Amino acid sequence: MINRERLAETFTALVKIDSVSKEEGEVSKMIQGMLASLGADIVIDDAGEKIGGDTGNLIARFKGNTEAATLLLNAHMDTVEPGRGIVPVFTDGVFTSQGDTILGADDKSAIAIILEVLKVVGENNLACGPLEVVFTICEEIGLLGAKYLDFNTISANYGFALDSADTRGVVTRAPSANHLEFTVHGKEAHAGAAPEKGINAIQIAGKAIADLDLGRIDAETTCNIGVIEGGLATNIVPNLVKVKGEVRSHDDEKLAAVTKKMVSAFSNAAAAGREKSGDTEIPHVDTLVEHEFTRTHIPEDHPMIALAVKAAGNLDRTMTCKTTGGGADANVFFQHGIVTGVLGTGMQNMHTANESVRLDAMVDAAELLLEILRLHAQGDGS
């Protein structure tokens, strides 16, 4: 029943609308129009005001026509850079960009799939339980839309986010994450005339970074330094550098231990610098540690996972449980007591100019979601 041509048209229209984080207003208007035509009760919350964006999260409610418990569906509206002026190209069944931007399949393939499934349910008067469809803002810059969502307005206790690649997998395990920022203060001086009068903040930061284990720490834990900002000119000893990094782990004790090691590395490097310089105050480090999101761990025998597995089986497919190193809105939902598995749409090479998605994969994902809704309406997973 999935209309592949309509699905392709919806996806194409969505990706042509710029919607980088904090600028989702125009794409939200398009989605609202489509949802309104399906009879949804639509609310735009105030998350955008709190974040500094041009719109809030879009929450659409459908009463359904069965007595099943309310089911949550989720995707995010924002995209990363370079995400302006996207021109989708469709060749041999595959969507790509022209190569100078991302495509935006992350996560507009998910939005198109959810909208297509809702259309099929409506036009065929299919049995469907109550739904809460949450299209968030600013997922790509720290899951901010989900974090600022008023969960008192959400009644669902479980559901599915569409925000991964594998259409034959459901993500049941995702890590916790900490964001870290270190501001290293040194002392400015002329690098040629009087370098001995300066204290090189970049050098202090470099010594701290050299003392870290980066990359994959173990099967559950990763650590990364991703941003370094500092210095004014090659002939000036830099007095300030900012370093940003993260730690992720499926084990919160490991998360805390690696975070502590990162903080200690910068603290120790600054202390060594003070001892060398004889200065009691410079160099020093300002440290910020923010908990970005909390891990998810859904038992493989959870009714909602069983629902996805059964739906796949009804379509003669195999559904496997997946572990990911990435975060999603599902992490925030899970933290608020909403058990949320993450389904795939077929998108590949996300956050790059090589991003792509096969239309066949999107159709597969839509068929799976439609079957999930059919089974849920019958009471499966309740």
| 336: exposed, middle or buried (Cβ count in 10 Å: 0-12, 13-18, 19+) | middle
Active site residue 106: no
The number of CA neighbours under 13 Å toward the Cβ of 214 is 12
Beta-sheet pairing, 58-62 with 94-96: unpaired
Catalytic residue among 139, 163, 329, 355: 139
Give the separation between CA 268 and CA 2, rounded to whole angstroms.
60
Q: Which residues contact 98 (CB under 8 A, 6 or more apart)?
A: 87, 89
Cα distance between residue 348 and residue 363, in whole Å:
15
Helix axes 359-377, 105-123, angle to 10 degrees: 50
- The active-site residue out of 45, 78, 116, 140 is 78
Does residue 181 carry a catalytic annotation?
A: no
DSSP assignment of 55-101: S--EEEEE--SS-PPPEEEEEE--B-SS-SS---EEETTEEE--SSS
Tokens of 194: 């009087």
Residue 41, CA distances (Å) to 117, 121, 133, 161 in order = 17, 16, 10, 20
- Dihedral over alpha carbons 79, 83, 85, 88 (to 10 degrees): -70
Positions marked active-site = 78, 139
